[in-house]
Amino acid sequence: MDYQVLLQDAMEQARRMPARGRVADYIPALAEADPLAFGMAIATVDGGVFGAGDWQRPFSIQSVSKLFTLALALAEGGEGLWRGVGREPSGNPFNSLVQLESEQGIPRNPFINAGALVVTDRLLELTGDAVGAVRDFLRTESGNPEVAADDTVAASEARHGHRNAAMAHFMASYGNLRNPVDSVLAHYYAHCAIAASCRDLALAGLFLARHGVRVDGSRLLSRSEAKRINAVLLTCGTYDAAGEFAYRVGLPGKSGVGGGVLAVLPGRGAACVWSPGLDAAGNSVLGVAALDALTTATGWSVF
Amino acid sequence: MDYQVLLQDAMEQARRMPARGRVADYIPALAEADPLAFGMAIATVDGGVFGAGDWQRPFSIQSVSKLFTLALALAEGGEGLWRGVGREPSGNPFNSLVQLESEQGIPRNPFINAGALVVTDRLLELTGDAVGAVRDFLRTESGNPEVAADDTVAASEARHGHRNAAMAHFMASYGNLRNPVDSVLAHYYAHCAIAASCRDLALAGLFLARHGVRVDGSRLLSRSEAKRINAVLLTCGTYDAAGEFAYRVGLPGKSGVGGGVLAVLPGRGAACVWSPGLDAAGNSVLGVAALDALTTATGWSVF
Amino acid sequence: MDYQVLLQDAMEQARRMPARGRVADYIPALAEADPLAFGMAIATVDGGVFGAGDWQRPFSIQSVSKLFTLALALAEGGEGLWRGVGREPSGNPFNSLVQLESEQGIPRNPFINAGALVVTDRLLELTGDAVGAVRDFLRTESGNPEVAADDTVAASEARHGHRNAAMAHFMASYGNLRNPVDSVLAHYYAHCAIAASCRDLALAGLFLARHGVRVDGSRLLSRSEAKRINAVLLTCGTYDAAGEFAYRVGLPGKSGVGGGVLAVLPGRGAACVWSPGLDAAGNSVLGVAALDALTTATGWSVF
Amino acid sequence: MDYQVLLQDAMEQARRMPARGRVADYIPALAEADPLAFGMAIATVDGGVFGAGDWQRPFSIQSVSKLFTLALALAEGGEGLWRGVGREPSGNPFNSLVQLESEQGIPRNPFINAGALVVTDRLLELTGDAVGAVRDFLRTESGNPEVAADDTVAASEARHGHRNAAMAHFMASYGNLRNPVDSVLAHYYAHCAIAASCRDLALAGLFLARHGVRVDGSRLLSRSEAKRINAVLLTCGTYDAAGEFAYRVGLPGKSGVGGGVLAVLPGRGAACVWSPGLDAAGNSVLGVAALDALTTATGWSVF
């Protein structure tokens, strides 16, 4: 396949969308994102890397980081993680507290905010430095030593983070955090504030396409664990629109409010797309459209 | 692969479960099911049919029928169906009315009871005989002319069906049913009351493994539509345990409170397992365990 | 006090409201109500009856009937009633099913629709004719033999009553109805469809002001029971605006979507006001305003 | 009336309850309360003060303080308070976040925790010292200069206060707090930790029985405002059991998890009872029983 042409065609089709959605503006640092930015990259298990548009420009990865915190927490600590966080779709917006109350402080899955706070808490306990663990993983897998958390974005999140603080305290009230609330929040904001490009993320996501094997050939997760993360991504990775994403794109994927979407093609590769305009569910409008076009053209789908 | 051995091994492993769950007893007709019954069948796209245990014994397919009503309603009426029913996981038990109220009478997906009532309503409108359409499809695909609705079970459901009646009236209050409530309920109870065996269902599920093509080579759904049904099955097919099923089994599947579970291996085949004991989420305990063992042994997974 | 002047002043003040609200239009029979109709009556424990405006014109009493079904069910059957219905404010709209699900089919109080269906069911069981019991009580207390259910309104409710049917079936699924769903609904629609005037209702409400004693001197309820019904009226009688009503009016009261509001002045009398325009909570805009003006002018309040 | 005899009889009847409930144990400082403590006091508008049992022994007033913060915030700031907090019963437990989410950070009423945090925030803004304002009011009205916040209890609340912190941050995320979250929480914990006796609270509650007039004859609230606070107390003052309290006791009242209950007899007096054992709704078991017995014996009721 000529990936270069495929990427350009997919982006072309996505650009025909009647609207580009709305840039996240709940914190000033994100609101400044360039609404016209649009990039896409594919990395394949046999070593190819392809890109188009703004594919090498760093952006705030936000919730895409949750894929990596989950993988690292499972690699470091094993299945015990699931005692503090479920793996069912939530059926509610990503920052809702309702379900958390009816289910005694155990978040539905690792990809809603509450669940990612629990995963961050465990990774912090296991490594002593949750944000460092994610950052180092991204650097190594992408080969880009400049991947780093943007302190301005993290500080901005913290200043406007009353809702995340509410969730963290709420879970702490049920005994489901092991570190002080403030530490967990600081690491959470920092790993969400990591800046990386489509290229970096596509490369960093390859370990899932390689069924758990890292770029250096070492194994991060067992084959079975890697498949299982893909399953959680497919059912829960795109907020309360996971069903829609599975229906249209048919691949495990994780989105962030920075406008990035990382999708995995098991056994084949990983694709990352970035466009800051979001739909009502918080997913990149052009990003999902481009992945839809790409998978329709190629027939890629897990189904 | 020696499917016969695989089936026997998977069932053997499942039998080691510490408990078999509890037979559905909300209606007398289901409570009479043999708690020790256990069967499993595989049908492959290249024509093989294999089975073990009680694989040829008919049981009440219950919600497994919802897979077929969905496929037939989409085949007959197209994508307009999605205006009256969503395709997101519900995050709630299968018979909850809560979400229905906050989302104005549009059920979350076609596999919770409320959604299946809407699909039944549309299929009834399109064909004039929803239960006949499902029954005839199962007969043709399985080659078994004896597949039929069990009137005793349907009548028992109707007598104890206040909750389904509540949902149907509730959706009618939002204008989301086109036929009289009583007709929709009658067709719904009847297609859930169809009795068929693991063999019959594995054969009838093959159209999804064949990407939309029926046993006679005619096309029921486009390749793309078939993939999309698989996506909805994976994210929503096993009640509020779809994430768990995706995590453990990794295949699109549909379960019923009669104890049947039908899973699709895209491009390869379909497997059906039956054991009446259910877990708290309403899925067959041995059924899910046997599929877990089977997919672990074979590496089958969409991920 | 010159009640005649008080009534006219209160109505005069209410007429200054910037808007009259919206006439209930969920059924055609109610939508036809005269939006400019406005009447008010006071009946005192010492035998006075005063009125102004359309105080002798019959209107559809709707949920005001729930006060009488409750009193009659308690008089006939005693405290056992409270096993099937609570007496806490619901904190939800009057026709919500959400709380009913989380509280296992026991409605919060007798004045939301679900609770009134349970009360109707019990009154039907106790008397064999729930609507007849209410109608006869209203006739006797008001001295007006023409009080009767309007069959057209009842039939219209039944045709558009999917939501009430949903609630009734839902409670039946929890075993909280003793009569067939259809009978309960028929009696419920019929007693809501009773037509009576402000004069009739003020007279019929006097038994609460007389602490349980009927017009003929016989005792319907003990002093203590009568007080307790007043307590339930105050905390739950005006849908999800009971706090607001207590705050502004300070009297036990019951409203209906026909635009009537009946308020009790313990030891002193009863006032009824009617104006069909409703606010968002379903209470008569001018009705509440007139009662607010009346109680402010007179200092009447239970507090 | 011989109040002394009435109090002793009411306490005697309450002691016959089969169980005394459970002492609040969510913080160590409260768990140490003497489970057998039981006291009751009445203060009348004509200057009488009567007591029995442990009526002069200080206890942690906890949520009873919310009555005073509300009165002071209304006295200082007027009706604008109601823009940030409602006055409807919540229909949910006192520390639930569910309704707060569906109603955009505006708590249902000033007596659930979330609402009291808003009132504390406003009182802090108006006075610069919310806890000082409450303490000084209690000292002046009771004539007891020793009324003071117990720092140990406040510190213990703060250490175990994740749930209140969650609520405060959650409301801050909606812009419904004007002071820093930590300041609001500190003042909230401190005024809840005030220690006072039944005697002190009965005297301090008299301003509501005197329709807004303080012990020195000055007016804190208008007659109308005082009535309205009574209305909010009756509909919302005893958590999710306000309907039950109105039904059984029939007086405006406020309870606290320290086991205190303060009830108002408009125009006549105030009664306070204390016994640390709580029922499932968080109200003192013996306290409510004693008030029930007292009002049944005397006929006191607002209805």
* CA separation for the pair C166, B163 (Å, rounded): 8
**Contact yes or no for C68/C85 (Cβ under 8 A):** no
Nearest Cα to Cα of residue C282 among C230, C243, C240:
C240
User: Between β-strands D269-274 and D39-44, what pairing exists: parallel, antiparallel or unpaired?
Assistant: antiparallel
Segment C6-44, tens digit of pLDDT? 999 999 999 999 999 999 998 888 999 999 999 999 999
Structure tokens of C15? 């007429």
- Phi and psi of B194, rounded to 5°? -65, 135
Q: What is the ipTM of this complex?
A: 0.90
Mean pLDDT of A154-172: 95
Give chain C's length.
303
| pLDDT score recorded for residue A94 | 64
* Owner of token pair 């990382």: A262
In this complex, is the C-beta atom of A185 within 8 Å of any C-beta atom belonging to chain B?
A: no
In this complex, is the C-beta atom of A3 within 8 Å of any C-beta atom belonging to chain D?
A: no
Segment D198-240, tens digit of pLDDT? 999 999 999 999 999 999 999 999 999 999 999 999 999 998 8
| pLDDT score recorded for residue A13 | 97
Mean pLDDT of B14-36: 92
Rounded to 5°, the CA angle C55-C60-C62 comes to 120
On chain C, the residues whose CB falls within 8 A of the CB of D242 are 88-89, 235
| pLDDT of D187 over the 80 cut | yes
| pLDDT of B26 over the 80 cut | yes
**Contact yes or no for A289/A255 (Cβ under 8 A):** no
Structure tokens of B32? 């009479």
* Owner of token pair 């290249």: B46
- Phi and psi of C218, rounded to 5°? -75, 160
Helix (H) or strand (E) run with residue C51 in it: strand C49-53
* CA separation for the pair C66, C60 (Å, rounded): 13
Segment B151-203, tens digit of pLDDT? 999 999 999 999 999 999 999 999 999 999 999 999 999 999 999 999 999 99
In this complex, is the C-beta atom of C159 within 8 Å of any C-beta atom belonging to chain B?
A: no
| pLDDT of C135 over the 70 cut | yes
Identity of the residue numbered D62: Q
| pLDDT of D35 over the 80 cut | yes
A203 — pLDDT class (breaks 50, 70, 90): very high
C299 — pLDDT class (breaks 50, 70, 90): confident
CB pairs under 8 A between B and C: 51
In this complex, is the C-beta atom of D165 within 8 Å of any C-beta atom belonging to chain A?
A: yes
Which residue in the set B86, B244, B303 is minimally distant from A266, CB to CB? B303
CB pairs under 8 A between A and D: 51
In this complex, is the C-beta atom of D228 within 8 Å of any C-beta atom belonging to chain C?
A: yes
| pLDDT score recorded for residue C29 | 86
In this complex, is the C-beta atom of B88 within 8 Å of any C-beta atom belonging to chain A?
A: yes
**CATH code reported for the domain at A3-298:** 3.40.710.10
Residue from A79, A244, A303 whose CB has the most chain B CBs within 10 Å, to mutate: A303
Nearest Cα to Cα of residue A106 among A181, A161, A173:
A173
| pLDDT of B1 over the 80 cut | no
- Phi and psi of D49, rounded to 5°? -135, 125
| pLDDT score recorded for residue A162 | 95
Question: Do D97 and A167 lie within an 8 Å CB cutoff?
Answer: no
> Which neighbouring-strand residues pair with A39?
A53, A274
In angstroms, the Cα distances linking C178 to A117, B83, C171 are 49, 38, 10
Chains interfacing with D (3 or more CB pairs < 8 Å)? A, C
* CA separation for the pair C282, C149 (Å, rounded): 21
Mean pLDDT of B74-90: 94
* CA separation for the pair D284, D220 (Å, rounded): 29
* Owner of token pair 């405002």: D225
In this complex, is the C-beta atom of A296 within 8 Å of any C-beta atom belonging to chain B?
A: yes
Any idea where the domains of chain A sit in the sequence?
Answer: 3-298
| pLDDT of A90 over the 90 cut | no
Mean pLDDT of B271-298: 96
* CA separation for the pair A110, A129 (Å, rounded): 18
Mean pLDDT of B275-279: 97
Which residue in the set B89, B241, B244 is minimally distant from A243, CB to CB? B89
Segment C81-90, tens digit of pLDDT? 999 999 988 8
| pLDDT score recorded for residue A102 | 79
- Estimate to the nearest angstrom the gap between the alpha carbon of B27 and the chain centroid: 19
Q: What is the pTM of this model?
A: 0.91
| pLDDT score recorded for residue B89 | 87
Nearest Cα to Cα of residue A259 among A243, A238, A245, A240:
A238
Residue from C94, C97, C174 whose CB has the most chain B CBs within 10 Å, to mutate: C97
| pLDDT of B95 over the 80 cut | no
| pLDDT of D95 over the 80 cut | no
Closest chain A residue by Cα to residue D161: A173
Kindly report the nearest CA distance between residue B269 and chain A, in angstroms: 12
Segment C248-257, tens digit of pLDDT? 999 999 999 9
Segment C145-181, tens digit of pLDDT? 999 999 999 999 999 999 999 999 999 999 999 999 9
- Phi and psi of D274, rounded to 5°? -140, 125
A165 — pLDDT class (breaks 50, 70, 90): very high
Half-sphere exposure of D125 (CA within 13 A, CB side): 16
What residues contact residue A102 under an 8 Å CB cut-off, 6+ apart? Answer: D98
| pLDDT score recorded for residue B47 | 95
Segment C47-86, tens digit of pLDDT? 999 999 999 999 999 999 999 999 999 999 999 999 999 9
| pLDDT score recorded for residue B94 | 64
Order of strands across the sheet with D260-265? D49-53, D39-44, D269-274, D260-265, D253-255
| pLDDT score recorded for residue A92 | 73
Closest chain C residue by Cα to residue D100: C91
* CA separation for the pair C47, C269 (Å, rounded): 9
| pLDDT of C94 over the 70 cut | no
On chain D, the residues whose CB falls within 8 A of the CB of C92 are 91
Kindly report the nearest CA distance between residue C88 and chain B, in angstroms: 20
Helix (H) or strand (E) run with residue A195 in it: strand A194-196
* Owner of token pair 């979407």: A261
On chain C, the residues whose CB falls within 8 A of the CB of D209 are none
Closest chain B residue by Cα to residue C96: B101
To 10 degrees, the CA torsion angle through B61, A247, A42, A7? Answer: 140
Which residue in the set D98, D102, D173 is minimally distant from A162, CB to CB? D173
| pLDDT score recorded for residue D100 | 86
In this complex, is the C-beta atom of A86 within 8 Å of any C-beta atom belonging to chain B?
A: yes
DSSP tag of B75: H
| pLDDT of D299 over the 90 cut | no
Mean pLDDT of B221-234: 94
In B93-132, the residues whose Cβ lies within 8 Å of chain A are 99, 108-109
| Maximum distance among all Cα pairs of chain C, rounded to whole angstroms | 54
Nearest Cα to Cα of residue A37 among A222, A195, A245:
A195
